[in-house]
Structure 1
Amino acid sequence: MSVSAQTGDDGRERAGLWVTCQGVGHPAEEIARGAAYEIFSAVEAPGFEWAPRPGAPLPWRRFVHATEVTAAHGASSPTEEQETPLLVPLHRERDWSDVQQLTQQPSAAGHPVLGALRGSATIRRGTRMVKVLSARQLAGHVRGWLPYGFCHREHDVAHLRTPAALAVLRTDGEGGRDGTDVAYALRWRAADPVDYDMPTGDAYRGLVELPPRDRVGPPVLGTGFAPSGTQVIPEFVTRDFADLPMPANAALLAYPAEGGEVVLYTYQAEQRGWLRMVGPRWRHLLAAVPGLSPDQEYVPTTDPARSTQLVGGYGGGEYEAVADLPGGFRVLAMTRTARYPVESVSRRLRHARWRDVDCLVLREEAGWLRLRLRRPDPEAVAVTGAHCQERGVYETWAPAVEVTDDRIVDLPYLL
């Protein structure tokens, strides 16, 4: 693509990526394949902060979402299917700030404007999903935790690049108050839209009704948007709050205060473990992670009792499968020649009921079952004595002999 020369706010002509934001042209760097931009300025301006770093063209910078940019010159051509942007009908009596306030009002959960806005945030097979993590949660994923609970499309949160900005997305209740100057995240590709729900409607009304003493993290509004005084961020939850099988090439990320993105580990599906990607320059970012050595080259997962897996059909047989997106699904095998594309695929998990409450079975130990509530509400939490592990996720132990309707469930994906 040809690169146009543009005149910046310092009066000099420059080449490269330039974007127009609020009527002013700025040199910029692309984030998340054009979902957001880091824009630069030679002088202080509203929304910009002083953050000089090596390689930055100018010392003042700001992160903006692509929806705030009216023109981009010199941007790279898309190499894959783009995510759908948020769309909402506006008019002279309702501007964007009015819509943002509407997303924060539980009483407006059924408003048609919010319905249209939420309906534009869609997940397709291969959509990059993000879950912001604490240091403790990062350690858990390195040791075998799977994606579950509240999450977001990377496209919608790409402009949130610093620990302070990402604190609004945390699910652990700390909200950036754990004393660290780095934020962490898990990023993976969605295997299928059926794995995700919008936390809206009657099915999730119980989460809205839970009192503060019974929850961790910010409240669930029921509008389908994250609580924020300035942002409009659509939320998703994994269906029934279930664990999802970890796709190949998922990544554990760090976001230091300067706003860069550092890939800490990538997931190696055949070994069910994480390969360290960071060199000595960035190993200090792992210093706050409990029980994790920054110098460890390879950290395999240690929990053999997986709560879910992909099952694929090939040649009349059944095999464990892996989502290797955007390419598709294949047999999970150590040798390349055995990694056949599967002919059918399902997500397998275990359902049960305890004290008339629908649950997921996570694991079994010495006659006890670890359960996670599929639809948390005040009554279900009280009856089961479930504790909130993180925002929206409630778990408890139950004697196996008391559990009913214990069964294996296969949720098929359409290939």
Structure 2
Amino acid sequence: MQAPPAASTGTTEIVWHDRRYRARAIAGGAAFELYADTREPGFQPSGKTFHRYVHASEVESSGGELLLAGVAPVSVPVMPGADAATVHRYSQNPRIGPAERALVSAVRTTAFVNTGTRMVKPLSRHQVAKQLTAAPLVSGVCFREFDVAHLRAPEDRIVLSGDPDDVRDTSFTLRWKAIAACDYTSTEASHYPGLVGIPGRERRGSMILGTGFLPSGTHLIPEFTTAGLADLPLTARAEILAYTADGAEIALFQYQPQTNVWNRMAGARHRDLVNRIPGLETGRALFRVDPSVHAGLVGDHEGQRVPVTADPGHGFNAYTRGAVSRSPVTHPQRFYTRARWRDVEVLALGRNEDWVRLRLSQPDIEAIMSTDATCVERGVYECWAPLGELENPHTVTINYPTAENPAAS
């Protein structure tokens, strides 16, 4: 499945709250930038006019932008006593009863991921610096871009943050395409029963409610995690973005898998945004990263098992001297490393001589206390352990579906 076509960047006319506005579709039709000639509630100055951002599901438009986005919006069943306001109220309560939870869960299942779905993960400045120098992987809590496309200003994106930053006029985000639905799960308590009960002193960012939705007094936003909180391989042309106070989106870096390099995309005009990232050399344009030995993507190519990369919508590729091989890749698999330590299920992330960095795959307060794990970002807890104390370290493989093997998962 290829990514959907982008909606037109020209202005159109839409209806929002029973009023007509000039508007511009953004994020492939997932949201609109509205324009007004005079200041209205929620509108900010933009040159000689005023503007604000709203989700495409909130407006009436004859352009079919919501369909062009190619992503199914969250849907509320048509039944007595169920409407968007009711579902939102239930979604913000981690202690709802069985009937209410069943309704919220039914709504949550309407938000799903397909091959090629654009995913995003908010990053702090320090996380950006780490992403540019660490293995090309992503993990933790994330969102479909479609669901958060209307949150453009940094002050609006704070609610998404998994690692709160002290910079409020700029926010950063990692964006990539999903390889397969099996790589993602919701944050519902049925998947992570221990996260809901973790006290505030052991958390970063907002609480995981266990309903599958983000804590927000205004928005109904489904949230995801990488499956089992494991590392996923980044896909071709993943991007690190910056959002400025006026809602502008600037691509700062793009990942090129054929050379394992992050290319700087932002020019001199946006040098100040790049300079906000700590530890970067002034003027540096290329950031080479090394693949991880604990997680990644492999496939069969010309009779050998080799590292490969994914370009959702276009398949899997092996590279020879920096160029795409003409030979096809078959049986692609994602792999990661699991183990047990102190009777706790963990993921092995990296090694430093005789010590191994670990991540809890099912965080709860008992596991945190037993391993002395630290919350490194929202919902993610990591620690170090002596290599010799790990029990049953082993590699787990996930088969990806292909045209030759569509049933794999």
Give the TM-score normalised by the residue count of structure 2. Answer: 0.90
1:181-211, Cα deviation, whole Å (9 max, x unpaired):
1100000001111111111133311000111
User: 2:46 aligned to 44, 47, 52, which one?
Assistant: 52
AA of the residue aligned to 1:112? A
User: How far off is 1:171 after superposition?
Assistant: 0.4
Shift of 1:212: 1.1
| Separation of aligned partners in 1, 2:201 and 2:324 | 54
Given the alignment of the two structures, is residue 24 of structure 1 paired with residue 26 of structure 2, yes or no? Answer: no
Structure-2 change in CA distance of 1:68 and 1:351 (3 Å): same
Q: Quick one: distance in 2 between partners of 1:167 and 1:231?
A: 13
What is the identity, as a one-letter code, of the residue corresponding to 2:186?
M
State the shift of 1:74 in Å.
8.8
Q: Say if 2:313 is the partner of 1:326.
A: yes
Q: CA deviation at 1:159?
A: 0.3
The aligned counterpart of 1:9 is none
Higher mean C-alpha deviation, range 89-98 or range 191-200: 89-98
C-alpha separation in 1, matches of 2:345 and 2:104: 29
In structure 2, the partner of 1:154 is 145
CA distance in 1, matches of 2:201, 2:322: 51
Matched-pair contact (CA < 8 Å) for 2:125–2:278:
yes
| 1:414 to partner: Cα distance | 1.6
Identity %: 39
1:233 aligns with 2:221: yes
Distance 2:11 2:367 in 1: 57
The 3 A distance-change label for structure 1 pair 344 and 355 is same
Q: 1:68-122: per-residue Cα shift (whole Å, max 9, x none)?
A: 01124496994xx701111002567444222211110002375222112111101
Report the equivalent of 1:37. Answer: 32
Is residue 138 from structure 1 mapped to residue 125 from structure 2 by the alignment? no
**2:30·2:65 contact (CA, 8 Å) conserved in 1?**
no
Change (3 A) 1:368 1:358: same
- Whole-angstrom CA distance in 2 between matches of 1:103 and 1:19: 29
| 2:407 corresponding residue in structure 1 | none
Shift of 1:239: 1.0
Gaps of 5+ in 2: 1-9, 403-409
Q: How much has 1:228 moved relative to structure 2? A: 0.8
Residues 206, 88 of structure 1: CA spacing in aligned structure 2 closer, same or farther, 3 A cutoff?
Answer: same
Matches within 5 A, 1:42-191: 42-49=37-44, 51-53=45-47, 59-73=49-63, 78=68, 82-89=70-77, 93-108=81-96, 110=98, 111-145=101-135, 146-172=137-163, 174=164, 176=165, 178-191=166-179
CA distance in structure 2 between the aligned counterparts of 1:226 and 1:76, rounded to whole angstroms: 22
Structure 1 residues 128-175: Cα deviation after superposition (integer angstroms, max 9, x where no partner): 000011111111111125211000000000000010010000001x2x
1:212 has 2:200 as partner: yes
Letter in 2 for 1:37: F
Asked whether the 8 Å contact 1:104–1:221 carries over to 2, the reply is yes
Would the aligned equivalents of 2:189 and 2:195 in 1 still touch at CA under 8 Å? no
Q: What is the rounded CA distance, in whole Å, between the counterparts of 2:392 and 2:340 in structure 1?
A: 6
In structure 2, the partner of 1:201 is 189
Secondary structure class of the residue paired with 2:138: coil
Q: Is 1:368 paired with 2:359?
A: no
1:231-280: per-residue Cα shift (whole Å, max 9, x none)? 11100001111111111100000000010100001001022120011111
- Structure 2 partner of 1:404: 391
Give the distance between the partners of 2:322 and 2:106, measured in 1 at CA. 47
Question: Which residue identity is paired with 2:23?
Answer: A
- The change in CA–CA distance for 1:190 and 1:339 in structure 2 (over 3 A counts) is farther
Deviation at 1:45, TM superposition (A): 2.5
Cα 1:225–1:333 change in 2 (3 A) is farther
> Aligned-residue CA RMSD in angstroms?
2.0
Give, in whole Å, the separation in 1 of the partners of 2:97 and 2:256.
40
* Separation in 2, partners of 1:96, 1:195: 28
Asked if structure 2 preserves the Cα contact closer than 8 Å seen for 1:30 and 1:38, the reply is: yes
Q: SS at the partner of 1:100?
A: helix
- Report the alpha carbon displacement of residue 392 of structure 1 after superposing the two structures with TM: 0.9
* Residue 338 (structure 2) pairs with residue 348 (structure 1): no
Shift of 1:286: 1.8
Aligned to 2:7: none
Give the direction of change, closer, same or farther, for the CA distance of 1:243–1:75 in structure 2 (3 Å limit).
closer
Displacement of 1:298? 1.1
The one-letter amino acid of 1:224's match is: G
Q: Is the 8 A contact 1:26 1:41 kept in 2?
A: yes
Could you tell me how far apart the structure 2 residues matched to 1:227 and 1:406 are?
36
Whole-Å separation in 2 of the counterparts to 1:204 and 1:408: 22
Q: Which TM-score applies when normalising by structure 1? A: 0.89
CA–CA distance in 1 between the matches of 2:245 and 2:357? 37
